[in-house]
C-alpha cells in the first residue's frame, strides 16, 4: 500500500498556476481551451487530471510542460516564472525538468527502443542509463526492437522509460492508456505508479477515465476549460485494483 | 553515432528512391559544371602553354614577294619583339592510295634547327637535314589519316614541276591547332596537310631566293598591335599585302577561342537549370517530411531538443543526398571531362592537350550545391523550427477547400467525382501545381535544347553541302586566270558543268568601321553555287551593288541602301563606293557577294578568275583527278563529299556525344521531378485514397485520382516545355554564334515528338512504381495511424 502522502514532503510546492487562460484558432474557429485556472502541485504528488474530451486538460498539460504558452495568466516552476521564459530557457526547462508520455506514444519509428531512450539520455544532465530505464519499465529484453515490433503497451512503456530516463522532476502523462486495452493499460499505470513511488517524481496523469482517479493522491477535474473539482484521495489504490 | 543521426540515416534509406532522384539531379548539375570548368581550364592552359613554348606569333602578314632585308626593317618597328620570315605555298599532292588530289601547304623552316616563331613540335621522326631538298616534315593529322609514316614518299607539283618528297618527320605547329585548307571551314585530314620544308629548297623551287611571302612577329609587352599593323600595312602594300592581322583574325586561334567561349556558356547555363530543379525538389520533399513528422518534431522539442538541433536534423535530409550527388557528380564530371578532352584531341591538334582537374572547380561546385541544398531546405527547416511543440501534437487542421472553377452546378454533373477531386486538389494549391509544371517543363526544355543542336547541324549540312553547294569539286587556281580558262576546263573530258568565281580582297569601310574582307564575284546564284540563308531560303544575286552576310553588315554597321567605301587591295588598287543591296543570314563565315561582271568592271582588270566549281561525270572522275594532280596552275582541290564526310565524322560525332549526355541528363531530371511529385502526392493522400478504397472504390479508380493528377501536370508541362525549349535554344544559338558560324534556329518535328515520348515514358515508369506502392497500401494500417 502507498504510504501517507503527508509524509512525503508534499508541502514543497513544485508548480503554481495562477489565473491561466488559453484560446487558440482552429481553422476559422476560436476555441477557448482554458479559462482562469489556478492550481498548485507539490513534490512527489501523483495527481490525476480528469476531464472529458475537449475539456482543456491536454492544453493545460502542454502549458505546464513548456510546449505551449498561455494567452494570459502565469505558471511558476519552483518559483521561477515559466510563462516569462525565453525559447532557449523553455528548451532547457523541458530538457532538465520535464518528462512527457503521450497517448500515441510518439516513438520515433526509425529508432529502436534503446535508441528512443538514448535520444533523451544523450542530452540530459544526469540521466540513468538507457537500458536501466527500460529495465525499470520491464523491457530489459526488448532493447533492440523497433516500435513496429512492439505491442501498444510495450511502446507506451518505452515512452515512459524515455520520459523518466532523464530523472525529471515532473512527469506529465497525456492519456497514457488512451490507446490501450484494459489489461495493458493497467500494466502501464503500474509502471507510472512505480516511477512515482520509487523515484519520487511529481506525476500528472491526464485522463478522461474516472476510474484511474483511484490511484492518485489528488484528483483535479476540468470541465469546458474550467476547474470543476480539486480533491485529495485519502488512500491511493494500486493500479491492479482499478476496474473500468 | 547519436540517435538523431541514426534516425536521419534510416529515414533517408527509407526514402531512398526520392533521395536518389534528388542526388541524381545534383550529380548531373555538378558533373556538367566540373567537366566543363575543367575542360575550359584545360583548353586555356594547353593553348597558352603551346603558344608560349612554340612561340606562336602575335601579328601575321602575307605578301606576294618581299625582299628579305625587310625583316630588319620590321624588327626596328617600335613594339616588335621578334620577327620571322617564311615562304609558304599551296601545292597539289599525289597521295598514295588516294584517287583525288590532295592539297599541301608548304611552309619553310630553317635548314639547321633554330628557334623560330610558330615553331615546329616534332612528334615523330627527325628534323630535315641541310642539303637534302626532298626532305619534309608533315603534319600529324594528315599522316595519320593517310596511314603514312616517316620514311614514306609522296609526290607534289611545285611550281609546275612534279617532285618526290621524302617524309622524315611528323610535326605539329601552334598555327595549325585547327588544321583546315585555306578557304574551307571544316578539316579534311586526308586531303589537306601542312608540310614543312627547308627554306633553301623552297626558295629554289619557287624562285624566291632572297625573298619571303609570309612574315610573323611577336609584340613587346605593352606594344600596340594596331600601330604595328598600321606600319606593316604601309610597308608591304606595294608587295601585294592584303593587310596584316592579329591573332584574333587567325583562323586556327579563332576556332579555339570560340570553342573555349562556348564551353564557358555551358558552364553557366546547364548547372543553373539543374541546381534550380534540385532546389525545387528538396523544397517539396523536405516540406513533406516535415509535414509527416509533425508529431516527431513535437516529441523532440518536448524531450528538450532545441530548435537548432531540430533544424539541423531536418537540414541533414537535404545535405546528405546533396553531398552524395556532389561526390558522384564530381567523379562523373572528371570522367566526362577526360572523355571530352579526348574528343577535343581529335579535333584540335595540340602538341600536348593535358586534362587539368582543378580543386577550385570541385570546391566551387560543392559550395554551389550546398547553397542549393540550404536554399531548397530553408522553407521546410524553418517550418520545423517554428512549429510550436504543442501545435505539432495536434493533427494538421483539414485543408481548406472552396468551391472552384469546376464547381458550377452545370459543370458539376458532367464531371465524375474522381476528376473533381483531381481538379480541386490542383486548384487548392495552384502555386505548387504551377511549380511542378514548370519543373517538368524544364526537363522537356533541356530535351528540346539538347536535340536542337542536332537539328541545327542537320540544317547546316543540308544548306552547306546540298543546297548551297552543288558542285563535286572546287578547283583553286594558284594565280588568277583569264576568262579563257573556261575553254581549257570545258575541254576536259568528264566535266559536266563548270562555273567560276573571283575573290577580290578589299578593305571595306563605313563611317569609322573598317574590315578586311574578300568580295566573291559569282557568275550566277542559280547554278552550282547558290545563295541560301540559314532558314534555307534562296536569294538572288544583285546585278549591281553588294550582298553582305548579316553578321558582316552588323559589324560594319550598314543596312541595305547604305553606301559602302571599298578599297581594292590588289591590281590597280582602286577605290570605289558600293551600294549595299541586301543582306543574307548565312550559316558560315562572313561573305560579300557581287555579280562577277560588276566586280570585274569595278576592279578593272579584264576579269581574273580564282577558282572553278565543277560537276563531274562520276565515271570519268578518276581520270580527271589524275589530270588535276599534274596541273601546274592548280593549287588546291576541295571535294564537297569529302568535306561532308569529315564533318559528319568529326563535328557530328562530338555533337552526338553532347546530345546523348544532355538527353540522358534531361531524362534523369524528368524522372526526378515526376517521380518525386507522385511520391509526395501518394504520401499526402494515402489516407484519403485508402478511405475511398474502404468506401468501395477500386484500385484502378484511386490510381486514376492520384496518377491522373500527375498526368495532368505532365501534359500541361509539355507545351510549356516546348516553348521554354525553343527559348533556350534561341539563347544557345545566340550565345554560341560567332563570326565563324551561326547556328540556325530549326526544330524538327521529331525533336518535339522525342521530348514528348521521353516525358511520357518517364511518367509511365514513375506511375508504375508509385502505383505499386499505392495498391500495396494496407487499408487497416493506414487508417489506424494518425496523420
Report pLDDT digits (tens) over B367-381.
989 999 999 999 999
Nearest Cα neighbor of B115 from B69, B54, B57 is: B54
Q: Which residues of A186-212 are buried (b: 16+ CB within 10 A; e: fewer)?
A: bbbbbbbbbbbbebebbbbbbbeeeeb
Mutate to test the interface with A, among B1, B2, B3 (most CBs of A within 10 A): B3
Q: What mean pLDDT comes out for the span B263-286? A: 87
B122, pLDDT greater than 50: yes
- What does the block give as the cell for B741? 558560324
- Chain A residues 38-97 with CB within 8 Å of chain B: 58-59, 62-63, 65, 67-69, 87-88, 91-92, 94-96
B460, pLDDT greater than 90: no
The answer to whether B507 and B243 are in contact (CB under 8 A) is: yes
- Listed in sequence order, the residues at least 6 apart from B466 whose beta carbon sits closer than 8 Å to its beta carbon are none
> How many Cα neighbours within 13 Å face the side chain of B23?
20
Nearest Cα neighbor of B423 from B777, B716, B18 is: B716
Dihedral, CA of residue A225, residue A227, residue A228 and residue A233, to nearest 10:
130
B394, pLDDT greater than 70: no
Cα nearest neighbour of A160 on chain B: B303
Q: What is the pLDDT of residue B412?
A: 59
Angle at A126 between CA A125 and CA A131, to 5 degrees: 120
| Sole residue written with cell 519509428 | A109
Nearest Cα neighbor of A115 from A65, A150, A89 is: A150
B786, pLDDT greater than 60: no
Q: What was the ipTM of the complex prediction?
A: 0.78
Q: What mean pLDDT comes out for the span A107-111? A: 84
Dihedral, CA of residue B62, residue B64, residue B69 and residue B72, to nearest 10:
-10
Nearest Cα neighbor of A172 from A190, A182, A159, A185 is: A159
Q: Looking at B90-99, B137-146, B581-590, B686-695, which range is the least confident one?
A: B686-695
- What does the block give as the cell for B268? 553557366
Q: What mean pLDDT comes out for the span B771-778? A: 80
- Listed in sequence order, the residues at least 6 apart from A147 whose beta carbon sits closer than 8 Å to its beta carbon are A105, A107, A108, A109, A111, A113, A116, A155, A158
C-alpha to C-alpha distances, A104 to A160, B296, B395, B559, nearest whole angstrom: 12, 11, 12, 80
Quote the mean pLDDT of chain A: 87
Chains A, B: CB contacts within 8 A come to 86
Determine the distance in angstroms separating the CA of A117 from the nearest CA of chain B, rounded to an integer. 9
Determine the distance in angstroms separating the CA of A60 from the nearest CA of chain B, rounded to an integer. 10
Q: What is the pLDDT of residue A124?
A: 86
Reported confidence tier of residue B392, pLDDT bands at 50, 70, 90:
low
Cα nearest neighbour of A58 on chain B: B390
Helix (H) or strand (E) holding B499: strand B495-510
C-alpha to C-alpha distances, B773 to A27, B273, B286, B287, B681, nearest whole angstrom: 32, 30, 20, 21, 12
DSSP states of chain A: ----GGGTTTTSEEEEEEEEEEEEEETTEEEEEEEEEEEEEETT-EEEEEE-TTSSHHHHHHHHTTSS--SEEEEEETTEEGGG--HHHHHHHHHHHEEEE-TT----TTS-HHHHHHHHHTT-SSPPPHHHHHHHTT-TT-TT--GGGS-HHHHHHHHHHHHHTT--SEEEEESTTTTS-HHHHHHHHHHHHHHHHHH--EEEEEES-GGGGGG-SEEEEEETTEEEEEEE-SSPPPGGG---
Q: What is the pLDDT of residue A10?
A: 52
> φ and ψ at B517, to 5 degrees?
-160, 155
Residues in A closer than 8 angstroms to B301, CB to CB, are 67, 91, 94
Q: What is the DSSP letter of B161?
A: E
Read off the pLDDT of residues B44-81 as tens digits, 9 standing for 90 and up. Answer: 999 999 999 999 999 999 999 999 999 999 999 999 99
Cα nearest neighbour of B398 on chain A: A27
Reported confidence tier of residue A2, pLDDT bands at 50, 70, 90:
very low
Q: How many Å apart are CA B713 and CA B488, to the nearest integer? A: 69
Residues in A closer than 8 angstroms to B309, CB to CB, are 123
B784, pLDDT greater than 70: no
> How many Cα neighbours within 13 Å face the side chain of B15?
26
Q: Looking at A188-192, A197-201, B209-213, B634-638, which range is the least confident one?
A: B634-638
Residues in A closer than 8 angstroms to B389, CB to CB, are 62, 67-68
Task: Give me the helix-helix angle, B307-347 and B16-53, nearest 10°.
Answer: 40
Q: What is the pLDDT of residue B448?
A: 92
State CA B721 to chain mean position distance. Answer: 22
- What does the block give as the cell for B593? 557577294
For chain B, the farthest-separated pair of C-alpha atoms sits apart, in whole angstroms, at: 103
- What does the block give as the cell for B682? 501518394
Which structural domains are found in chain A, ordered by start? 43-68+90-237 (3.40.50.300)
Q: What mean pLDDT comes out for the span B16-27? A: 92
**Burial of B71: CB neighbours in 10 Å, binned 0-12, 13-18, 19+:** middle
Mutate to test the interface with A, among B294, B297, B298, B303 (most CBs of A within 10 A): B303
Q: What is the pLDDT of residue A3?
A: 47
**Burial of B416: CB neighbours in 10 Å, binned 0-12, 13-18, 19+:** exposed
Nearest to B390 among A62, A92, A122 (CB): A62
Q: What is the pLDDT of residue B780?
A: 65
Nearest Cα neighbor of B467 from B547, B524, B537, B546 is: B537
A8, pLDDT greater than 70: no
Determine the distance in angstroms separating the CA of B758 from the nearest CA of chain A, rounded to an integer. 37
Reported confidence tier of residue B720, pLDDT bands at 50, 70, 90:
very high
Q: How many Å apart are CA B739 and CA B742, to the nearest integer? A: 8
Nearest to A119 among B303, B388, B397 (CB): B303
Residues in A closer than 8 angstroms to B11, CB to CB, are 110
CATH code for the structural domain at B495-616: 2.40.40
Nearest Cα neighbor of B25 from B356, B446, B656, B378 is: B446
Q: B113 by DSSP, 3-state: which?
A: coil
A36, pLDDT greater than 70: yes
Is A166 an 8 Å CB contact of chain B? Answer: yes
Q: How many Å apart are CA B210 and CA B200, to the nearest integer? A: 10
Q: How many Å apart are CA B459 and CA A164, to the nearest integer? A: 76
Residues in A closer than 8 angstroms to B296, CB to CB, are 106, 108
> Per the CB < 8 Å rule, is A104 touching B398?
no
Nearest Cα neighbor of B45 from B351, B309, B368, B321 is: B351
Q: What mean pLDDT comes out for the span B712-731? A: 93
Q: How many Å apart are CA B206 and CA B202, to the nearest integer? A: 6
- Listed in sequence order, the residues at least 6 apart from A93 whose beta carbon sits closer than 8 Å to its beta carbon are A66, A77, A82, A85
Strands B495-510 and B513-522: antiparallel
Mutate to test the interface with B, among A27, A28, A63, A67 (most CBs of B within 10 A): A67
Nearest to B7 among A67, A104, A111 (CB): A111
Q: What mean pLDDT comes out for the span A128-143? A: 91
Q: What is the pLDDT of residue A1?
A: 39
Q: What is the pLDDT of residue A219?
A: 94
**Burial of A1: CB neighbours in 10 Å, binned 0-12, 13-18, 19+:** exposed
- What does the block give as the cell for B679? 511520391
Q: How many Å apart are CA A187 and CA A160, to the nearest integer? A: 12
Q: What mean pLDDT comes out for the span B274-286? A: 91
Q: Where are the domains of chain B?
A: 1-54+253-397, 55-252, 429-467+642-787, 495-616
- What does the block give as the cell for B751? 525533336
A134, pLDDT greater than 80: yes
Q: What is the pLDDT of residue B409?
A: 59
Determine the distance in angstroms separating the CA of A1 from the nearest CA of chain B, rounded to an integer. 32
Nearest to B3 among A65, A118, A166 (CB): A118
Mutate to test the interface with B, among A70, A108, A144 (most CBs of B within 10 A): A108
> How many Cα neighbours within 13 Å face the side chain of B670?
32
Handedness of CA B679, B684, B687, B689 (dihedral sign): negative
Percent of chain B with pLDDT over 70: 95
Q: How many Å apart are CA A205 and CA A219, to the nearest integer? A: 10
- What does the block give as the cell for A44? 512527489
The answer to whether B521 and B549 are in contact (CB under 8 A) is: no
Quote the mean pLDDT of chain B: 88
Handedness of CA B418, B420, B423, B427 (dihedral sign): negative
Reported confidence tier of residue B516, pLDDT bands at 50, 70, 90:
confident
Q: What mean pLDDT comes out for the span B417-436? A: 80
B312, pLDDT greater than 70: yes
The answer to whether B693 and B699 are in contact (CB under 8 A) is: yes
Dihedral, CA of residue A166, residue A171, residue A175 and residue A178, to nearest 10:
50
> φ and ψ at A11, to 5 degrees?
-70, -15
Q: B739 by DSSP, 3-state: which?
A: coil
Mutate to test the interface with B, among A54, A83, A91 (most CBs of B within 10 A): A91
Bridge partners, A20 (sequence order) = A37
The answer to whether A156 and A188 are in contact (CB under 8 A) is: yes
Determine the distance in angstroms separating the CA of B384 from the nearest CA of chain A, rounded to an integer. 14
Q: What is the pLDDT of residue B405?
A: 59
Q: What mean pLDDT comes out for the span B139-161? A: 92
**Burial of B9: CB neighbours in 10 Å, binned 0-12, 13-18, 19+:** middle
Nearest Cα neighbor of B105 from B118, B88, B122 is: B88
Amino acid at each position: 500500500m502507498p504510504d501517507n502522502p503527508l509524509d512525503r514532503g508534499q508541502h514543497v510546492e513544485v508548480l503554481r498556476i495562477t489565473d491561466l487562460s488559453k484560446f487558440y484558432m482552429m481553422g476559422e474557429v476560436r476555441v477557448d481551451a482554458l479559462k482562469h485556472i489556478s492550481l498548485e502541485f507539490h513534490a512527489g504528488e501523483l495527481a490525476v487530471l480528469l476531464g472529458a474530451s475537449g475539456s482543456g486538460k491536454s492544453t493545460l498539460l502542454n502549458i505546464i510542460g513548456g510546449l505551449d504558452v498561455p494567452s494570459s495568466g502565469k505558471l511558476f516552476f519552483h518559483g521561477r516564472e515559466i510563462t516569462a521564459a525565453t525559447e532557449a530557457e523553455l528548451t532547457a526547462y523541458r530538457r532538465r525538468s520535464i518528462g512527457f508520455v503521450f497517448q500515441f506514444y510518439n516513438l520515433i519509428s526509425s529508432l529502436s527502443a534503446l535508441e528512443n531512450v538514448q535520444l533523451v539520455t544523450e542530452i540530459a544532465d544526469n540521466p540513468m542509463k538507457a537500458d536501466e530505464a527500460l529495465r525499470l519499465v520491464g523491457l530489459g529484453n526488448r532493447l533492440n526492437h523497433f516500435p513496429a515490433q512492439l505491442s501498444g503497451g510495450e511502446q507506451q512503456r518505452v515512452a515512459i522509460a524515455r520520459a523518466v530516463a532523464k530523472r525529471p522532476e515532473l512527469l506529465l502523462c497525456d492519456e497514457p492508456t488512451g490507446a490501450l486495452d484494459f489489461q495493458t493499460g493497467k500494466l502501464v499505470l503500474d509502471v507510472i505508479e512505480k516511477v512515482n513511488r520509487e523515484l519520487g517524481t511529481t506525476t500528472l496523469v491526464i485522463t478522461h477515465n474516472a476510474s484511474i482517479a483511484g490511484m492518485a493522491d489528488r484528483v483535479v477535474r476540468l470541465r469546458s476549460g474550467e476547474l470543476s473539482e480539486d480533491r485529495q484521495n485519502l488512500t491511493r489504490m494500486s493500479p491492479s485494483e482499478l476496474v473500468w | 553515432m547519436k540517435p538523431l543521426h541514426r534516425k536521419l540515416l534510416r529515414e533517408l534509406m527509407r526514402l531512398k528512391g526520392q533521395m536518389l532522384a534528388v542526388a541524381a539531379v545534383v550529380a548531373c548539375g555538378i558533373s556538367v559544371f566540373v567537366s566543363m570548368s575543367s575542360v575550359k581550364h584545360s583548353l586555356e592552359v594547353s593553348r597558352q602553354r603551346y603558344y608560349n613554348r612554340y612561340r606562336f606569333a602575335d601579328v601575321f602578314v602575307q605578301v606576294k614577294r618581299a625582299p628579305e632585308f625587310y625583316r630588319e626593317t620590321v624588327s626596328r618597328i617600335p613594339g616588335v619583339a621578334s620577327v620571322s620570315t617564311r615562304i609558304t605555298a599551296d601545292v597539289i599532292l599525289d597521295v598514295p592510295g588516294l584517287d583525288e588530289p590532295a592539297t599541301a601547304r608548304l611552309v619553310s623552316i630553317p635548314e639547321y634547327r633554330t628557334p623560330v616563331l610558330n615553331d615546329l613540335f616534332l612528334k615523330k621522326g627527325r628534323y630535315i637535314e641541310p642539303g637534302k631538298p626532298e626532305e619534309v616534315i608533315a603534319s600529324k593529322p594528315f599522316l595519320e589519316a593517310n596511314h603514312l609514316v616517316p620514311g614514306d614518299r609522296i609526290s607534289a607539283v611545285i611550281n609546275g614541276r612534279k617532285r618526290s618528297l621524302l617524309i622524315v618527320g611528323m610535326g605539329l605547329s601552334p598555327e595549325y591547332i585547327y588544321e583546315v585548307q585555306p578557304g574551307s571551314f571544316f578539316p579534311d585530314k586526308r586531303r589537306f596537310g601542312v608540310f614543312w620544308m627547308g627554306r633553301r629548297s623552297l626558295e629554289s623551287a619557287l624562285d624566291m631566293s632572297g625573298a619571303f611571302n609570309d612574315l610573323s612577329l611577336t609584340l613587346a609587352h605593352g606594344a600596340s598591335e594596331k600601330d604595328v599593323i598600321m606600319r606593316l600595312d604601309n610597308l608591304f602594300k606595294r608587295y601585294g599585302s592584303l593587310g596584316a592581322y592579329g591573332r584574333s583574325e587567325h583562323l586556327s586561334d579563332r576556332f579555339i577561342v570560340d570553342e573555349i567561349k562556348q564551353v564557358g556558356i555551358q558552364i553557366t547555363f546547364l548547372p543553373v537549370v539543374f541546381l534550380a530543379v534540385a532546389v525545387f525538389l528538396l523544397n517539396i520533399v523536405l516540406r513533406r517530411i516535415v509535414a509527416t513528422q509533425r508529431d516527431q518534431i513535437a516529441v523532440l522539442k518536448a524531450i528538450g531538443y532545441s530548435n537548432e538541433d531540430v533544424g539541423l536534423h531536418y537540414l541533414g535530409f537535404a545535405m546528405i543526398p546533396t553531398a552524395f550527388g556532389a561526390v558522384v557528380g564530381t567523379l562523373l564530371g572528371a570522367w566526362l571531362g577526360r572523355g571530352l578532352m579526348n574528343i577535343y584531341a581529335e579535333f584540335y591538334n595540340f602538341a600536348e592537350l593535358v586534362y587539368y582537374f582543378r580543386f577550385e572547380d570541385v570546391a566551387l561546385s560543392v559550395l554551389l550545391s550546398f547553397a542549393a541544398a540550404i536554399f531548397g531546405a530553408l522553407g521546410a527547416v524553418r517550418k520545423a523550427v517554428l512549429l510550436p511543440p504543442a501545435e505539432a501534437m495536434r493533427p494538421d487542421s483539414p485543408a481548406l477547400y472552396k468551391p472552384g472553377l469546376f464547381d458550377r452546378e452545370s459543370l458539376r454533373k458532367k464531371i465524375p467525382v474522381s476528376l473533381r477531386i483531381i481538379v480541386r486538389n490542383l486548384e487548392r494549391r495552384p502555386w505548387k501545381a504551377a511549380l511542378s509544371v514548370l519543373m517538368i517543363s524544364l526537363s522537356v526544355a533541356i530535351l528540346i535544347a539538347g536535340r536542337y543542336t542536332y537539328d541545327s547541324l542537320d540544317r547546316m549540312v543540308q544548306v552547306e553541302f546540298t543546297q548551297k553547294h552543288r558542285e563535286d569539286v572546287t578547283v583553286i587556281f594558284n594565280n588568277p586566270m583569264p576568262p579563257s580558262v573556261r575553254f581549257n576546263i570545258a575541254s576536259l573530258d568528264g566535266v559536266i558543268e563548270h562555273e567560276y568565281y573571283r575573290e577580290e580582297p578589299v578593305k571595306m569601310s563605313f563611317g569609322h568601321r573598317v574590315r578586311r574582307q574578300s568580295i566573291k564575284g559569282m557568275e550566277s546564284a542559280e547554278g552550282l553555287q547558290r545563295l541560301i540563308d540559314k532558314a534555307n531560303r534562296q536569294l538572288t544575286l544583285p546585278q549591281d551593288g553588294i550582298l553582305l552576310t548579316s553578321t558582316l553588315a552588323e559589324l560594319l554597321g550598314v543596312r541595305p541602301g547604305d553606301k559602302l567605301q571599298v578599297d581594292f587591295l590588289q591590281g590597280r588598287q582602286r577605290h570605289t563606293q558600293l551600294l549595299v543591296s541586301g543582306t543574307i543570314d548565312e550559316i558560315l563565315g562572313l561573305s560579300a557577294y557581287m555579280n562577277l561582271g560588276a566586280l570585274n568592271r569595278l576592279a578593272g582588270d579584264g576579269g581574273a578568275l580564282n577558282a572553278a566549281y565543277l560537276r563531274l561525270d562520276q565515271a570519268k572522275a578518276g581520270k580527271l583527278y589524275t589530270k588535276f594532280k599534274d596541273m601546274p596552275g592548280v593549287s588546291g582541290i576541295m571535294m564537297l563529299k569529302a568535306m561532308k564526310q569529315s564533318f559528319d565524322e568529326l563535328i557530328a560525332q562530338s555533337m552526338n556525344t553532347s546530345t546523348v549526355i544532355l538527353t540522358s541528363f534531361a531524362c534523369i531530371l524528368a524522372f526526378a521531378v515526376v517521380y518525386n511529385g507522385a511520391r509526395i502526392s501518394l504520401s499526402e493522400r494515402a489516407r484519403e485514397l485508402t478511405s475511398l478504397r474502404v468506401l468501395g472504390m477500386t484500385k484502378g479508380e484511386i490510381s486514376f485520382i492520384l496518377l491522373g493528377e500527375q498526368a495532368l501536370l505532365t501534359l500541361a508541362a509539355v507545351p510549356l516545355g516546348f516553348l521554354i525549349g525553343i527559348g533556350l535554344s534561341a539563347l544557345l544559338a545566340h550565345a554560341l554564334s560567332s563570326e565563324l558560324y551561326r547556328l540556325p534556329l530549326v526544330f524538327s518535328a521529331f525533336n518535339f515528338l522525342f521530348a514528348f515520348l521521353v516525358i511520357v515514358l518517364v511518367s509511365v515508369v514513375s506511375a508504375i512504381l508509385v502505383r505499386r506502392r499505392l495498391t500495396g497500401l494496407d487499408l487497416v494500417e493506414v487508417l489506424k495511424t494518425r496523420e
